[in-house]
Amino acid sequence: MKIALLSRNSRLYSTRRLKEAAEERGHEIKVIDVLRAYMNIASHNPTIHYKGEILEGFDAVIPRIGASVTFYGSSVLRQFEMMGVYPLNESVAITRSRDKLRSLQLLSRKGIGLPITGFANKPDDIKDMIKMVGGAPLVVKLLEGTQGIGVVLAETQKAAESVIEGFMGVKANILVQEYIKEAKGADIRCLVIGGKVVAAMKRQAVAGEFRSNLHRGGSATLIRITPEERSTAVRAARIMGLNVAGVDLLRSNHGPVVMEVNSSPGLEGIENATGKDIAGMIIEYIEKNGKPGNTKTKGQG
Ligand code: ADP
């Protein structure tokens, strides 16, 4: 097959592994920096140009679109879809999962367990909003944050009020969430491919920290997940419309709760923690499913 890999940097671990895995299986794979692609949408025959050439003859496209380039990246992906190229994850599913509030609304509508979460723009009554999510301790999150930055644990009512006021003062979009204390600084990343959890790892925060992000010094280990956790992860990926997803869960007193569904899950942490060839599994999935035009929206989303 001829595969396009949308990635800004060919030296990144996940990009390198996917390239290796595709080549090992005899495929041709080209890394494309989405920001450098330019498109002709005005003709009957949609095209993508890259470094002076027309991109043609691709069977499948693997989007690895960073959060900061979601807008332009997903339009390049949509252009591939309009040309009938099979996307590993569809552009509509990616933009859906990047909108945290929309994702939580979609998941809650389908009965997926979530931490009690409130969001607001300019609440006049911060005390009432805190009461609404069950009071302190609670977690306040910046909507635009990644890698645990902008995720604050407010242990008391007073701390919660001042953190919320502070974020609002700088006009940041936030959500306020029940603190899942019983998770004890750990979360579970489930890697879903084609409706199956193919690998799972537990990330544990360092002592004195509640955020388990590997970027915050957390450590990853292999974990056995329960059938309920497995089905929650699979359903969450399906609801978002993602063929490949990293679903982050917390173990709460009221069962598994989903924190986030990631459309471009990193491969380094999970391959190292589990010893599994996830990149190979992704390429295999494309071999089985990568038929021209095999998308739900055909680029119309
Ligand atoms: P980011 O997307 O920036 O990584 P997350 O929402 O995933 O932010 O939060 C970072 C980490 O903080 C999580 O991996 C988890 O360990 C911890 N965490 C986040 N929300 C909660 C919560 N409601 N209760 C307990 N721990 C939480």
pLDDT in tens, 252-268: 999 999 999 999 999 99
- Pocket mutation for ligand 1, best pick of 151, 214, 264 (most atoms within 8 Å of C-beta): 151
The model's confidence at residue 120, banded by pLDDT at 50, 70 and 90, is: confident
End-to-end CA distance of the chain: 25
Cα distance between residue 22 and residue 1, in whole Å: 9
- Annotate 3-55 with DSSP letters as a single string: EEEE-S-TTSHHHHHHHHHHHHTT-EEEEE-GGGEEEE-SSSS-EEEETTEE-
Mean pLDDT, to the nearest integer, of 10-26?
A: 97
Pocket residues for ligand 1 (CB within 6 Å)? 115, 139, 141, 145-148, 151, 177-180, 183, 187, 210-213, 248, 250, 259-260
Q: Which residue has the tokens 């390429």?
A: 283
Mean pLDDT, to the nearest integer, of 272-297?
A: 90
The model's confidence at residue 299, banded by pLDDT at 50, 70 and 90, is: low
User: Does the domain spanning 99-113+182-284 belong to CATH 3.40.50.1820?
Assistant: no
- Between these two residues, 291 and 32, which has the higher pLDDT value? 32
The model's confidence at residue 297, banded by pLDDT at 50, 70 and 90, is: low
Per-residue pLDDT, 279: 98
Q: Which residue has the tokens 């890999």?
A: 5
User: Would you put residue 135 in left (φ > 0), alpha (ψ -120 to 50) or beta?
Assistant: left
Lowest mean pLDDT among 106-110, 129-133, 231-235: 129-133
For the chain, give me the number of helices (H) and strands (E)? Answer: 9, 16
At 148-181, the pLDDT tens digits run: 788 999 999 999 999 999 988 888 889 999 999 9
Q: Whose CA is nearest to atom 12 of ligand 1?
A: 211
Q: What is the CA(49)–ligand 1 centre distance, in A?
A: 39
Mean pLDDT, to the nearest integer, of 121-126?
A: 81
Mean pLDDT, to the nearest integer, of 195-212?
A: 95
Per-residue pLDDT, 209: 92
Q: Whose CA is nearest to atom 6 of ligand 1?
A: 259
Locate the domains of the chain by residue range: 2-95, 99-113+182-284, 117-179
Residue 269 pLDDT > 70, yes or no? yes
Q: What is the CA(84)–ligand 1 centre distance, in A?
A: 37
Q: What is the CA(265)–ligand 1 centre distance, in A?
A: 16
- Pocket mutation for ligand 1, best pick of 187, 251, 257, 264 (most atoms within 8 Å of C-beta): 187
Per-residue pLDDT, 122: 78
Per-residue pLDDT, 149: 81
Please tell me the CATH code under which domain 2-95 is placed. Answer: 3.40.50.20
Top mean pLDDT of 3-17, 44-58, 112-126 is at 3-17
At 85-103, the pLDDT tens digits run: 999 999 999 999 999 899 9
3 state SS of 180: coil
- Pocket mutation for ligand 1, best pick of 152, 219, 259 (most atoms within 8 Å of C-beta): 259
The two domains 99-113+182-284 and 117-179 share their CATH topology (first three levels equal):
no
Cα distance between residue 176 and residue 97, in whole Å: 19
Please tell me the CATH code under which domain 117-179 is placed. Answer: 3.30.1490.20
3 state SS of 187: strand
**Among 273, 268, 138, 158, which residue's Cα sits nearest to residue 210?**
138
Mean pLDDT, the chain, rounded, equals 93
- For Cα atoms 29, 31, 37, give the angle at the middle one, nearest 5 degrees: 125
Per-residue pLDDT, 301: 57
Per-residue pLDDT, 300: 59
